[in-house]
Amino acid sequence: MIFGKSILSIFKLIKKKEVSGKEVGDYFLKRIEKYNSKINAYLTVNDDYKTGRIYKSDKNRIKLPIAVKDNFCTKGIRTTASSRVLQDFIPPYESTVTKRLIDAGFFILGKTNMDAWAHGSSTETSDFGATKNPWNLSRSAGGSSGGSAAAVSSYLAPVAIGSETAGSIRQPSAWSGVIGLKPTYGRVSRYGLIAMGSSLDCPGPITLTTEDAAFILKIIAGNDKFDATTVKNDVPDYNLSLKKKNKFVIGVTDEYLNGVNQEIQNSFDVLIKLLKKLGHKIKKIKLLSPKYSISVYTIIQRAEVSSNLSRFDGIRYGNDRTYFGSEAKRRIMLGTYVLSYGYYDAYYKKAQKVRTLIIEDFKKVFKEVDMILAPTTPVTALKLGEFEKYPFFGEMMDVLNEPAAIAGLCAINFPFGLAKRDKLPIGLQLMGRWFEEENILNLTYQIEKETDFLGVIKKGISNYPD
């Protein structure tokens, strides 16, 4: 009865009293017990679910399960950011994202695995073991929100929260065959999110349906007095605007197809034909090569990492700096270098200038088109172990995600078919103007209604029966 249901459907079932909150909670606990040891999606399962304590308090309140990436501070629930530095850290406060979810009737089912400190695109830098791709256990689930994406695609959670700095929601969603929404920078509060790149970080939902993504975004979005970078713009009713049959002008560019696997390009072509059939306009555009975004991103993010991780001294909480893993140390070193005397202008300031060029480039293009369609990743999920061979392979894998992140745009990944060669999901993305999540959600919903994402999401879940 619950199997494969979206969070909105579960919500309706509970409201109609066809199923109780406890039945839903127990159902997911049972699935986690059955499958998590294979996939390693969760690092921590909330004890209050196991003991049933959540059902005893506030009995009339609806309690919906949600998985949360382990870099969101959750009051009283261990939060590690997948690093041994924080292996026994119990936050004394709740992040704004989880607080808003709890206030809306959610209860945190568990905390999901990720690359340590969100440094990576495969969850392999986690100090607690990699997350396996539910489609093929020898493959990476992607990262850094790999645990959240894998939990949703194997239905160990009906919905999950991830965070993205440049690709960390979209890329694991693409590789695991689910929907991942990266909102505009400043749309969702970063308060209580363990900081990676503060000028880039953005929380967002990973879901089975477009409606669920709209539903969760509405809850977590909006100005927050604890995060001065959140904007005061009104939060629209995203679910309401899904139903409009809008027609869009959609930009496509060859720059985003260079080096992209042929099967992914084929999926891209199939979708373009469909969009034309639905009455949308496709327009060729020209954008700066994403290869510059790799450099801008590497410099800015490493600089912000070295600054953000300087607080981990083991005095007030956590372990000392000898507990940092190899990837964190490498990033701190490069960040320290690009910010140091004599190099600041050559690297950091130069990168911030090119960042301006990238933003201006998008602004120009968005005068002609409403959104941009591109593949999310150049290849389908890689084998575990591929990443450690290169010092910034993750950045290369996220090349199609970095430009939008650097500019702070909103973007959404959705699955569109399976590659014949390896039977793994293909992800495509829509990048929208600043604060126009409504539009990219609207078009994703139209694609879902028309194609059901070529059956990918349902097929993924069917690999993990009750």
Q: Shortest approach of other proteins to residue 80 CB, angstroms? A: 12
Instruction: Please indicate whether residue 69 is annotated as part of the active site.
Output: yes
Catalytic-role residue among 95, 122, 144, 153: 144
Taking alpha carbons only, the member of 216, 177, 267 closest to residue 97 is 216
The answer to whether 289 touches 402, Cβ cutoff 8 Å, is no
Instruction: Please indicate whether residue 244 is annotated as part of the active site.
Output: no
Neighbours of 414 (CB within 10 A): 30
Taking CB under 8 A as the criterion, the residue among 82, 298, 301, 429 binding other proteins is 298
Q: Which is nearer to other proteins, 63 or 331 (CB)?
A: 331
Instruction: Please indicate whether residue 176 is annotated as part of the active site.
Output: no
User: By CB under 8 A, is residue 189 in contact with other proteins?
Assistant: no
Judged by CB under 8 A, the stretch of 43-51, 127-135, 224-232, 420-428 that binds other proteins is 224-232
Taking CB under 8 A as the criterion, the residue among 355, 379, 380, 443 binding other proteins is 355
Residues with Cβ within 8 Å of 179's Cβ and at least 6 positions away in sequence, in order, are 173, 206, 207, 208, 209, 210, 212, 213, 412, 413, 414, 415, 444, 457
Judged by CB under 8 A, the stretch of 8-16, 47-55, 163-171, 226-234 that binds other proteins is 226-234
Taking CB under 8 A as the criterion, the residue among 292, 416, 453, 464 binding other proteins is 292
Query: Cα angle vertex 151, ends 148, 153, to 5°?
Result: 105
User: By CB under 8 A, is residue 87 in contact with other proteins?
Assistant: no
What amino acid is encoded at 125 in this protein? T
How many residues of this chain interact with other proteins, rule: CB under 8 A? 58
Residues with Cβ within 8 Å of 377's Cβ and at least 6 positions away in sequence, in order, are 142, 171, 174, 175, 264, 397, 400, 427
User: By CB under 8 A, is residue 399 in contact with other proteins?
Assistant: no
Taking CB under 8 A as the criterion, the residue among 34, 51, 90, 137 binding other proteins is 90
For CA atoms 364, 254, 277, 418, the dihedral sign is negative
User: By CB under 8 A, is residue 319 in contact with other proteins?
Assistant: yes
User: By CB under 8 A, is residue 389 in contact with other proteins?
Assistant: no
Judged by CB under 8 A, the stretch of 5-13, 29-37, 124-132, 348-356 that binds other proteins is 348-356
Residues with Cβ within 8 Å of 17's Cβ and at least 6 positions away in sequence, in order, are none
User: By CB under 8 A, is residue 352 in contact with other proteins?
Assistant: yes
Q: Find tokens 């001065």 and name the residue.
A: 228
Taking CB under 8 A as the criterion, the residue among 32, 54, 85, 299 binding other proteins is 299
What amino acid is encoded at 436 in this protein? E
Catalytic-role residue among 63, 69, 111, 218: 69
**Helix (H), strand (E) counts: the chain:** 17, 13
Strands (E) in 48-164, as ranges, are 64-69, 106-112, 132-133, 136-140, 160-164
Q: Find tokens 């991942």 and name the residue.
A: 180
Residues tagged active-site = 69, 144, 168
| Chain residues in the site for other proteins (CB under 8 A) | 88-90, 92-93, 184-186, 199, 225-226, 228-229, 231, 291-292, 294-296, 298-299, 306, 310, 313-319, 321-322, 324, 326, 329-330, 332-334, 336-337, 340, 347, 349-357, 359, 391-392, 407-408, 434
